[in-house]
Amino acid sequence: MERTGRILDALGEPNRRHLLELLHKLSEPTVSELVEASGLRQPQVSKHLKVLAGAELVAPRADGRYRRYRLDGDGLRAAHDWFAAFEDVWQARFDALDDLVSTDCEHESRPVPDGTHRDGSRGNEMKESQR
């Protein structure tokens, strides 16, 4: 649970999420490249990368005098698994939404008591757009 806490804490900061998005788009960028792409200052990027690395969301790789960063699948998998544990909640919400939409579609096609449909037309009349 401690690992999940570090991951969720790291993901809770918008600049860190932005850096993760950039790491997803760029091929192992350096800190300087992330500074340029993010609009953040170098100390901020370095600080955020340290937190992301501590949460196992990014991994550095030495390349001469540079450090290149990439996404770390282990931390991302742990985050995915934690969120996936709540899939039943989302599925129930989607099922309820589907039921609501289906019910609304059925009501729209039924005539209201005066013989017109909810869109104002009568059953045997053609809409202007259908002519």
Asked if residue 99 is part of any domain, the answer here is no
Number of domains in the chain: 1
- The answer to whether residue 104 sits within a structural domain is no
The pLDDT tens digits for 101-123 are: 887 666 555 555 665 555 555 55
Domain of residue 35, CATH code: 1.10.10.10
Q: What is the pLDDT of residues 47-72, one digit of tens each?
A: 999 999 999 999 999 999 999 999 99
- Predicted TM-score (pTM) of this structure: 0.67
Query: Considering the domain boundaries, does residue 92 fall inside one?
Result: no
Q: Is residue 88 included in any domain, yes or no?
A: no
The residue range of the domain holding 8 is 2-79
pLDDT-above-90 percentage for the chain: 53
Residue 96 covered by a domain: no
Residue 128 has pLDDT above 80, yes or no: no
SS (H, E, C) the chain: CHHHHHHHHHHCCHHHHHHHHHHHHCCCCEHHHHHHHHCCCHHHHHHHHHHHHHCCCEEEEEECCEEEEEECHHHHHHHHHHHHCCHHHHHHHHHHHHHHHHHHHHHHHCECCCCEECCCCECCCCCHHHC
Does the pLDDT value for residue 82 go beyond 70? yes
Asked, for residue 91, whether it belongs to a domain, the answer is: no
